[in-house]
Structure 1
């Protein structure tokens, strides 16, 4: 407490000098800005918020795949479960269930060589998501037509390498989408 008194004394002493006024303003700003931001409810996206409906446990069944691309539902469901585990408990008998549907999986060439050979693809995925109360079967939170994409390089001389690049792009896209959705839920957006 004695130290704080000395600091305040020193700060007011510095006010009498012109240079001291600037210094005091800087110090005051450094102390007040964090207090004001914290007091008005400001927070970093996805941090400090609560799940919609106060949910503390969720289950994440395997997403329904409405696309022609096989086996992608396991990858994206796993990424969502991994991401949500950092915020809520992911269990089978949960308060709420995160239902997901993969509506679209699309590859499109986005860059070419001067000879019109594909250099880069864009993988775009569209999801429909809803958080549903297990007890009442009512929708607590919903996001329709969530679109995300990831670009990846084509290896024209190696089809296997291109397929592996597509798989890695899908894994990254799934992780990023899960993180974004969790942040939207925590921010109640």
Structure 2
């Protein structure tokens, strides 16, 4: 049994096992993160705001960093996000009306975390998310569902981004 314990410990250290939060891209001297409004290359309404808000919310919920929602020289690091593209494509059609009954929204984004001295601490240029939503045919009860789909994508993006920044191997 005594011989087995060191062998198991050696195996665990060799396979990439580590305690949660110990493989962070963010140096320990970073205490304040600036998260300015994401930029966008998409012709869509407020997607950059949804992504920025979701990211700030996720950072506030899961980290102990002081988060600034502006681009600030006093921050130890700045997280810049960019919405690269946003497309909406018809997914299904109503056979009776010939109109689209559901859509697929696809959003691609990137994020770069830069230290105050200009070093890149984290970068991911290829976040891609898809979300399906239904259209409303009854105009009297019409609810714009694409905004809800964008908010769901923004939440997934923020969760993945913060996890990747904090826990990536």
What TM-score comes out, normalization by structure 2 length? 0.76
Structure 1 residues 124, 160: CA separation in 2 closer, same or farther (over 3 Å shift)? farther
Q: 1:117 to 1:178 in 2, by over 3 A?
A: same
Higher strand share: 2
Structure 1 segments unaligned to the other structure (5+ residues): 1-31
Secondary structure in structure 2 of the residue aligned to 1:52:
coil
Query: CA RMSD, aligned part only?
Result: 2.4
Q: Please give the alpha-carbon distance, in whole angstroms, between the structure 2 residues aligned to 1:58 and 1:174.
A: 19
Structure 1 segments, 4+ long, off by >4 Å, are: none
Does residue 1:138 correspond to 2:119, yes or no?
yes
| Aligned pairs for 1:150-189 within 5 A | 150-158=131-139, 161-163=142-144, 165-188=145-168
Deviation at 1:67, TM superposition (A): 1.2
Q: Which has the higher contact order (CA 8 A, sep 6+)?
A: 2
Flag structure 2 segments of 5+ consecutive residues without an equivalent: none
SS at match of 2:142: helix
Instruction: Indicate if the aligned counterparts of 1:79 and 1:178 stay in contact, CA closer than 8 A.
Output: yes
Instruction: Answer with 1 or 2: which has the greater Rg.
Output: 1
Residue 113 (structure 1) aligned to one of 94, 111, 122: 94
- Say whether residues 1:127 and 2:109 are aligned partners: yes
TM-score (norm 1): 0.69
**Alignment CA distance shift 1:58-1:105 (3 Å):** same
Deviations 1:17-62 (A, max 9, x none): xxxxxxxxxxxxxxx9xx97xx65356xxx5345313244311000
What count of residue pairs does the alignment treat as equivalent? Answer: 149
